[in-house]
């Protein structure tokens, strides 16, 4: 039986339970399982139209996920054959890869933001592995132990180019999609990836937020094959752009529906300000790598030590720390230097310091 979505339900297990959950008339949330235990599930949203269904995100190309999608659609008296289009938020496995499967089954159109084109074309061509960029970033930031641990676990394996078929359409910022009586507006929100999009239903006050704004998770920054410059700066700017919109109901890719996207945006902006200050506090006159700084920071809501994270999360921690340090450098709060293909950071000298010890500068 279809269930009515309960907004702001914070029960840790409810949101991932399979089924079809009504958000508002004509919009349903379908949680699909994924093989990543950390993510637990991904929400695919169904928007009903006059001539069929539009999906926001496709899910992971993973047999249990495909089965759960079919079962949920059947609960609504639909099938995959009723899907007319899939609008993807960004080029990650749990959002894009099942789109090609659905296109082969139903003939639907698959579309994604034009900013994802460099990453997607690189993976589709087989020229670059999905994870090659992250390994290179770890080298630049001195994280050799993390690289060795990842390789030992098979992280550096080949990418299946068949999972990264090119879309039928590259979506432009501001592009409109008419779905029955609903108009969806694509909004470019780079940071998590270069081409990340959210989809805005202005009339009904809905924001399909993808991984840009999540209720329980702080999204990773720049996790993609072609990373944009200053990805964290782009992410913070994108959060502020969403804050300028009227407050809306947030329909995230992971977690329950939330009644106010603004409240979560404020939390994310405050979190990153705190992390910027924490990174700055660990710098002095001695050059340090992002790997070294990451080891001095607490991680997750439980404040875990870096050494207690698994290799994948250590990788994300180093890359996130580097992103924060680069923003500190942008604002003159630290100095960034490269030597021997390794990036080093140290505290910026205060303007009135005549030459003694170097101290971190205050927030701009």
The band of 350, judged by pLDDT with boundaries at 50, 70 and 90, is low
pLDDT class of 224 with cuts at 50, 70, 90: confident
**Model confidence at 361: pLDDT above 60:** no
- Give the CATH number of the domain where residue 45 resides: 3.60.15.10
Domain extent for 8: 3-128+159-270
Is residue 356 over pLDDT 80? no
pLDDT (tens digit per residue) in 14-71 = 899 999 999 999 999 999 999 988 888 999 999 999 999 999 999 999 999 999 999 9
Could you tell me if residue 277 is inside a domain? no
Q: Does 223 reside within a domain?
A: yes
Rounded to two decimals, what is the model's pTM?
Answer: 0.92
Q: Note the pLDDT of residue 59.
A: 97
Please check whether residue 120 lies inside any domain of the structure.
yes
Q: Tell me what the pLDDT averaged over the chain comes to.
A: 90
Q: What is the pLDDT of residue 354?
A: 40
- For 38, 137, 338, the CA distances from 134, given in Å and listed in that order, are 19, 5, 18
Q: What pLDDT is attached to residue 358?
A: 31
User: Residue 114 domain-assigned?
Assistant: yes
Flag whether pLDDT at 364 surpasses 60: no
Our count of domains for the chain comes to 1
What is the tens place of the pLDDT at every residue in 18-27? 999 999 999 9
Q: Give pLDDT tens digits for 166-211.
A: 999 999 999 999 998 899 999 999 999 999 999 999 999 999 999 9
More confident residue, 133 or 218: 218
> Is residue 155 predicted with pLDDT exceeding 80?
no
pLDDT digits (tens, 9 = 90+) for 255-284: 999 999 999 999 999 999 999 999 999 999
Assigned token pair, 276? 């910027």
Percent of the chain having pLDDT more than 90?
Answer: 77
* Within a domain: 210: yes
Residue 359 has pLDDT above 50, yes or no: no
The two most distant CA atoms of the chain are separated, in Å, by: 75
**Is position 287 within any domain?**
no
Residue 291 included in any domain: no
- pLDDT at residue 64 in the model: 96
* pLDDT confidence band for 360 (50 / 70 / 90): very low
Residues in CB range of 97: below 8 A, 6 or more apart: 58, 59, 60, 61, 163, 164
Tell me, rounded to whole angstroms, the distance of Cα 176 from its chain centroid. Answer: 22
Residue 194 lies in a domain: yes
Model pLDDT for residues 113-144, shown as the tens digit of each residue? 999 999 999 888 875 554 678 889 999 999 99
């Amino acid at each position: 039986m279809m269930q009515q979505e309960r907004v702001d339900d914070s029960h840790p297990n409810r949101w991932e339970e399979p089924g079809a959950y009504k958000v508002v008339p004509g919009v349903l949330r379908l949680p699909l399982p994924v093989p990543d235990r950390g993510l637990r599930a991904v929400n695919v949203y169904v928007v009903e139209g006059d001539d069929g269904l539009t999906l926001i995100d496709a899910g992971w190309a993973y047999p249990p996920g495909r089965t759960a999608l079919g079962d949920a659609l059947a609960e609504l008296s639909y099938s995959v054959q009723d899907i007319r289009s899939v609008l993807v938020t960004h080029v990650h496995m749990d959002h894009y890869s099942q789109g090609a499967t659905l296109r082969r089954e139903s003939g639907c159109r698959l579309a994604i933001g034009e900013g994802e084109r460099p990453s997607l074309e690189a993976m589709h061509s087989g020229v670059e592995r999905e994870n090659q960029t992250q390994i290179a970033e770890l080298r630049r930031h001195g994280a050799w132990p993390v690289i060795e641990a990842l390789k030992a676990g098979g992280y550096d394996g080949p990418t299946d180019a068949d999972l990264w078929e090119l879309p039928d359409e590259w979506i432009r910022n501001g592009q409109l999609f008419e779905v029955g009586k609903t108009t969806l507006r694509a909004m470019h929100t780079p940071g998590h990836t270069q081409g990340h999009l959210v989809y805005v239903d202005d009339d009904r006050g809905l924001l399909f937020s993808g991984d840009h704004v999540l209720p329980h998770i702080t999204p990773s920054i720049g996790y993609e094959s072609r990373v944009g410059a200053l990805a964290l700066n782009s992410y913070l700017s994108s959060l502020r752009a969403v804050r300028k919109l009227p407050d809306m109901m947030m329909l995230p890719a992971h977690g329950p529906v939330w009644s106010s996207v603004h409240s979560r945006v404020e939390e994310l902006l405050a979190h990153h300000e705190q992390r910027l200050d924490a990174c700055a506090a660990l710098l002095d006159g001695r050059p340090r790598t992002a790997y070294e700084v990451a080891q001095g920071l607490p991680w997750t809501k439980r404040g875990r030590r870096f050494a207690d994270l698994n290799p994948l999360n250590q990788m994300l921690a180093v890359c996130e720390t580097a992103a924060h340090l680069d923003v500190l450098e942008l604002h003159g709060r630290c100095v960034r230097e490269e030597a021997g293909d390794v990036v080093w950071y140290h505290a910026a000298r205060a303007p009135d310091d005549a030459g003694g010890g170097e101290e971190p500068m205050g927030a701009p």
